Structure 1
Amino acid sequence: MQSVSCQSMRAIEDRAFAVHSTAEALMDEAGYKIAQKILHYYPQLQHATAYLGKGHNAGDAIVVLQHLQQAGWTVNLQTPLRLNDFAPLTQKKINALGSEYLQNQQPPAPKSLLIDGLLGIGASGPLRDPITTLAKSINHHRNKLDCTVIALDIPSGVNGDTGEIAKNAVLADHTITIGYPKIGILKSNTVQHVGALSLVTLPELQPQNAELAHHPHLICEHTLTRKRRDFDTHKGQTGRVAIWAGSMGMLGAAELSATAALRAGAGLVTVFIEPSLYPILASMLPPEIMLRPCTSPLKILEERFDAIAIGPGIGSPSEDISNQLIEVVRQTSVPTVLDADMLNLIANQQALPELTHHCILTPHPGEMRRLLPNATRLSREETVKQFLELVPVTLLYKGARTLIAQTNSPLFINSTGSPAMATAGQGDVLTGLIAGLCAQKYDQLEASKIAVWLAGEAAQIALASGSETIETLTAGSILQHLHFAFSQLPRTT
C-alpha cells in the first residue's frame, strides 16, 4: 500500500467529504476496524484505557472503546479536559460512551492496553501540555505496569511527514494507521516509537496518482494475495526446491529452511548434504522432505528445480565447495535465495559482481556491512538504494522493519513482526518460505513480500494466542503458526 504525506491524506479526506462521506461515518468505520485489529492481536488484555486530546483522533479512540466494551472489555479514559474542551464530534462520541467516564477516571490496570488518542496527522512540532503530561504517562505505565500501547494513525510526537521524533513522544508497541500509511512512520528512525504496523483501509478514501508518487509502499494483507489452486493440481505443479544448507553443529538451519519451504506450499523439497552428515539430518527432517547425500553442489544443476536456497548453516565451506556454490549461482536461471553463510562467502570472495537478477539476497545488518562496507555510514533506505545500484538482485534488508526492493522498483516496507523474533533460525525460516513461494511461480519480489509478511504475522499470532511470550517464541513457533498467517491472505486465480 503506497504511503502518503499528511497534506495528501487531508486532501483525500476532504474529497470524500465533498462527495458522499461524513467525518462521523469515517470515524465510526475506522473505530470499528481498529477495534477488530486489537481483538485480533491482543484478545487476552481485556482492559483498555484511552488517552484523549481534543480532536478527532480522540473521537476515533472513543469509538474503539465502545466496540471493545461490547466485546466484554473494561474501558477507561485518561484526560484532564472537560467535555466542552473537545471537538464537537468527539463530544458526541464521549456522550455515546457515557460522559461519566470523564468524571470517574481510573489509573490503568497492569498488563492492560493503552490507546494513544492524543494527536492526529494535523499536529507538528514539540509536544505541549497537557499532551506532554499524557504522553509521559503513557510511556511510564508502559514501562512500570507492562502495558501495551496502541497508537491511532501515528504515535503522538512523531511527525507524520518527516519522521522527526519530539521529546516525550509516545512509545507505541503497535501503530494502527488509517486510510493510507503516512510517510513519516515508515522511516527507519521511527521504529522504536511506531512498533508493529497495521493498516485500516476505508474504501471512501481514494487518492489521486500525484498523491502517491515516489513514496514507499507498506507490505500488508490488503496488498498481498495467495494463489488459488485448481482442484486437479498435483505436486509436480507446485514446484521443486533444492536447498544446500547445514554443517556440523548447524543442521537445525537446514531443517528449518526445508520445513519452511514445505509449509510454504512447495510440492517437492530436496536438501543436499555432505554424506557424513546424512544420518544425523535424516533423523531431524520431516518425512515429506527428501535428503540427498552429495559431495558437490554442482549436482543441483543436473536436475530440474524451480527454486534454490543456499546458505543457512553452511559455516565456512572448503575452497572447492565455495567455488562450486558460486558456480551454481552463476549458472542457474531459477530464483535463488542466498542467505547467512552464503552471503559471507560472497563477501569474502568479492563475488558480488557474479550476482544477477535471479538472486534474492536476505542480509541482516552485520551481513550487509560485509557485503557493502560503507553501509555503516548510510541509513537503511540509502543502503538499499546504493546496493541495488551495484547489483540487479532482489534485496531483503532484514531488521525490525524489513526493507525489500529491486532495481527500479519502489521500496517496500514490511508491517508485521515482533521483538520476540530476535532469536536464532528466523532467517532460515524466511529463506525457506521465499524459496517455496518462488517454486510456485510467484515472482521474486512478490514471494519476498509475502514471505516476510507471513513470518511476522505468524509471530504476532503466536503471541496473541498465549502459546508464546516475547521470551519463548522460536523459529519453530513461526512454522507452527504459519497456517493462521496464510489464512489472513485472500486467494486469487
Structure 2
Amino acid sequence: MIPVVTPSEMAKIDTEASEPINVLIERAGNAVAWHARKMLKGTYGKRVTVIAGKGNNGADGIEAAKCLQRWGVKVNIIQADDDDMKVDESDLLIDAAVGTGLKRPYCAPHYSGPVLSVDIPSGICGLSGKSQGKPFVANSTITFQALKPGHLLADGPFHAGSIEIADIGLDVSSTSTFMLERSDVTKILNSRNDREHKWMSACWVIGGSGGMNGAPLLSAKATLRSGSGYVRVSTPGGTGEIPSEIVGFDIPTEDWEEYVIKNDFERFKAVVVGPGLGKTQMARKAVINLLSATQIPTVVDADALYAIGQQSLDPSDFGDHVVLTPHDAEYEYLTGHRPQTNRILDVRETAAKLNTVILLKGSTTIISHPDGRCLLVNNGDQRLATAGTGDVLSGVIAGLLARGISPFEAAAAGAWIHAEAANNCLAEGMIATDIIRVLPEVLDAANVG
C-alpha cells in the first residue's frame, strides 16, 4: 500500500522530522535532479529551465539546479513571481513554482516542451486535486515519501503525468490513508476462507421493481463470478425469468423483509440490497427493517441508499458489517451534501457517523472504515460510468464477502477488481456484462500476484 497524506499532514511531518529542513531540501533536490537526468536521457549538451517559487518547493528546484549544473547541464533559473517571465525552449522545464502550498490561482507560462513537476503540478490543489488558474500539465511528477490527495482526485491525475515517490527519510507511519496496489489485492484474496459447500459462500440479492429487474441480475451474476457458491435473487412481487445458475426466490410486495428473515436468511454469508428496488415508501421501510435486523455482511446500493437517507437513523442500528456504495448524488442522500473539498476526510467522518463502511465511487474510489482507516482505488477509467456497472460492483463486493473477506477489505479489493476487469475490456463499446465476463481471469491473475 502506498501512503497518502494531505499537505497539512506533510507539513507537520516535515516539522517533526529529526533532520533539519536544509538536509531534507538537499535530499529532495537530489531526487529531483536524478529524475530530471532520467527524463533527459543524459546530461551532455542539455538545457533545463527551473521555475522556482519562494517556499520549500522552490528550494527543492534550486537544489536540483545545482546538481544538474555540476553534471554539466546548462540551467536557467526563473523566479516564479517574475511578472515579465519569458520561458525559452529547453530540453526540460522543472516546475518548482508552488507545489502543495497553493493559496491562490496559478497560471503556468506557455511552454511546449517536457515538464517535470516537483511535488504536484503548480496550479493543482494538493488537497482536492482541483485546478486553480492554469496549472502545468506535467509529463512526470516527483513527490516525496507519500502521495497527496491532489495526485489522485479531480483534475490532478490529468496534470501529474507519471508519478514517482522519492524516499527522503520522512516518517509517514502515522497516516491511516493508503492507495491499494495489486499486491495488496493478492494478499486480501489469499486470506479468504476456502468454501467446502455452496452454503459456505451463499449470497442473497434483493432488488428489482417494475422495469428494473435487470439490475439485481447484474449483481447476482457478478457475485457468482466473484466467488459465491450459491446466489439467490428476489424481487418484491415476483422475480421473473432468471438464468439457470441463479436461484430465484419469490417474496411478497409488502413486508418482504419479514419473509426474507424467516426463510434461511441466517444461512447466507452476504447480502446485496437495493439495485433497481425502487423508492416507494414500502421499499424504504423494508430496507431499514432488514438492515436493523441482521448482522450478515451486507452491500447497500442504489435505491436502498435513498431509503437510508430518508430515515432518522441511530448509527448503532448498523455496524462495520454494512457497506454503503454511493456515487456523489447518492452520497447526498446519506449526508445532505455532495462530497466536500477534503473528499477523503468527508467520507471518513461519514463512515464514523453512520458506523458503516463507506465506498464513495469516483475516478478515485474512497473506502473508509468507521475507525478512520481509508483505502483509495484509482485503477479505473471513464468506462465505469456506463449504466449497470454499479450493480456489477455491488455483486463483486458481495462475492468477496461470501468468501469470508472482511467488509472493509472486500469493498476495497472489489473496487480494484471491478476496475481492473473494465481495463481488460475493449476500449470502445464496453457494457456492464462485459465486466462480468472477464472477472474470473482478473481474479485468477490477482490471486497469483
Answer whether TM exceeds 0.5 for this pair: yes
- 2:259 matched residue in structure 1: 299
Question: What is the rounded CA distance, in whole Å, between the counterparts of 1:456 and 1:476 in structure 2?
Answer: 13
Matched, 1:468 2:419: no
Cα 1:85–1:417 change in 2 (3 A) is closer
Q: Once the 2 structures are TM-superposed, how far is the Cα of residue 475 of structure 1 from its aligned partner?
A: 1.9
Question: Aligned-residue CA RMSD in angstroms?
Answer: 4.5
Verify the 8 A CA contact 1:241 1:308 in the aligned structure 2. Answer: yes
Cα 1:249–1:338 change in 2 (3 A) is same
Question: What is the rounded CA distance, in whole Å, between the counterparts of 2:173 and 2:116 in structure 1?
Answer: 26
Which amino acid in 2 is paired with 1:477?
A: D
Verify the 8 A CA contact 2:232 2:247 in the aligned structure 1. Answer: yes
Cα 1:332–1:127 change in 2 (3 A) is closer
Unmatched tracts of structure 2, length 5 or more: 50-64, 74-90
Matched, 1:345 2:345: no
> Which deviates the most, 378-387 or 174-183?
174-183
Q: Once the 2 structures are TM-superposed, how far is the Cα of residue 420 of structure 1 from its aligned partner?
A: 2.1
Cα 1:164–1:252 change in 2 (3 A) is closer
Could you say what secondary structure the match of 2:386 adopts? Answer: coil
Matched, 1:478 2:435: yes
- The residue correspondences of 1:149-160 to structure 2 (distance < 5 A) are 154-155=120-121, 157-158=123-124
Question: What is the rounded CA distance, in whole Å, between the counterparts of 1:201 and 1:59 in structure 2?
Answer: 16
Verify the 8 A CA contact 1:57 1:117 in the aligned structure 2. Answer: no
Q: Once the 2 structures are TM-superposed, how far is the Cα of residue 257 of structure 1 from its aligned partner?
A: 0.5
Question: What is the rounded CA distance, in whole Å, between the counterparts of 2:116 and 2:199 in structure 1?
Answer: 43
Matched, 1:168 2:134: yes
Cα 1:422–1:189 change in 2 (3 A) is closer
Question: What is the rounded CA distance, in whole Å, between the counterparts of 1:257 and 1:85 in structure 2?
Answer: 53
Q: Once the 2 structures are TM-superposed, how far is the Cα of residue 323 of structure 1 from its aligned partner?
A: 2.7
Verify the 8 A CA contact 1:266 1:437 in the aligned structure 2. Answer: yes
Unmatched tracts of structure 1, length 5 or more: 28-53, 67-80, 96-115, 139-148
Equivalent residue in structure 1 for 2:221, among 254, 259, 263 = 259
Question: What is the rounded CA distance, in whole Å, between the counterparts of 2:307 and 2:314 in structure 1?
Answer: 10
- 1:422 matched residue in structure 2: 385
- 2:405 matched residue in structure 1: 442
Cα 1:331–1:85 change in 2 (3 A) is closer
Could you say what secondary structure the match of 1:404 adopts? Answer: strand
- TM normalised by structure 1 equals 0.65
Q: Once the 2 structures are TM-superposed, how far is the Cα of residue 491 of structure 1 from its aligned partner?
A: 4.7
Q: Once the 2 structures are TM-superposed, how far is the Cα of residue 449 of structure 1 from its aligned partner?
A: 0.6
Question: What is the rounded CA distance, in whole Å, between the counterparts of 2:423 and 2:71 in structure 1?
Answer: 31
Cα 1:215–1:168 change in 2 (3 A) is farther
Cα 1:198–1:397 change in 2 (3 A) is farther
1:272-309 alpha-carbon deviations (Å, 9 max, x no partner): 12454423xx2xx3x32221122223333231100111
Question: What is the rounded CA distance, in whole Å, between the counterparts of 1:231 and 1:371 in structure 2?
Answer: 33
Matched, 1:309 2:258: no
Verify the 8 A CA contact 2:137 2:158 in the aligned structure 1. Answer: yes
Which amino acid in 2 is paired with 1:3?
A: V
Sequence identity (%): 24
Verify the 8 A CA contact 1:162 1:184 in the aligned structure 2. Answer: yes
Which amino acid in 2 is paired with 1:473?
A: M
Equivalent residue in structure 2 for 1:331, among 270, 293, 305 = 293
- 1:385 matched residue in structure 2: 348
- 1:3 matched residue in structure 2: 4
Question: What is the rounded CA distance, in whole Å, between the counterparts of 2:97 and 2:35 in structure 1?
Answer: 10
Equivalent residue in structure 2 for 1:365, among 328, 350, 356 = 328
- 1:396 matched residue in structure 2: 359
Verify the 8 A CA contact 1:335 1:444 in the aligned structure 2. Answer: yes
- 2:245 matched residue in structure 1: 288
Cα 1:153–1:256 change in 2 (3 A) is farther
Could you say what secondary structure the match of 1:211 adopts? Answer: coil
Q: Once the 2 structures are TM-superposed, how far is the Cα of residue 330 of structure 1 from its aligned partner?
A: 1.0
Could you say what secondary structure the match of 1:278 adopts? Answer: coil
Question: What is the rounded CA distance, in whole Å, between the counterparts of 2:144 and 2:437 in structure 1?
Answer: 32
- 2:54 matched residue in structure 1: none
> Which deviates the most, 220-229 or 364-373?
220-229
Verify the 8 A CA contact 1:160 1:182 in the aligned structure 2. Answer: no
Cα 1:150–1:436 change in 2 (3 A) is farther
Question: What is the rounded CA distance, in whole Å, between the counterparts of 2:292 and 2:106 in structure 1?
Answer: 58
- TM normalised by structure 2 equals 0.71
Matched, 1:214 2:175: yes
Greater share of helix: 1
Question: What is the rounded CA distance, in whole Å, between the counterparts of 2:70 and 2:233 in structure 1?
Answer: 62
- 2:61 matched residue in structure 1: none
Q: Once the 2 structures are TM-superposed, how far is the Cα of residue 390 of structure 1 from its aligned partner?
A: 2.3
- 1:268 matched residue in structure 2: 230
Cα 1:227–1:377 change in 2 (3 A) is closer
- 1:489 matched residue in structure 2: 446
Equivalent residue in structure 1 for 2:202, among 240, 244, 259 = 240
Question: What is the rounded CA distance, in whole Å, between the counterparts of 1:233 and 1:342 in structure 2?
Answer: 29
1:329-376 alpha-carbon deviations (Å, 9 max, x no partner): 111111111110011122223346443332111111111212211447
Q: Once the 2 structures are TM-superposed, how far is the Cα of residue 235 of structure 1 from its aligned partner?
A: 4.1
Which amino acid in 1 is paired with 2:217?
A: E
Question: What is the rounded CA distance, in whole Å, between the counterparts of 2:169 and 2:247 in structure 1?
Answer: 49
Cα 1:245–1:190 change in 2 (3 A) is same
Give the total of aligned pairs: 394
Cα 1:248–1:232 change in 2 (3 A) is closer
Could you say what secondary structure the match of 2:233 adopts? Answer: strand
Verify the 8 A CA contact 1:119 1:156 in the aligned structure 2. Answer: no
- 1:185 matched residue in structure 2: 150
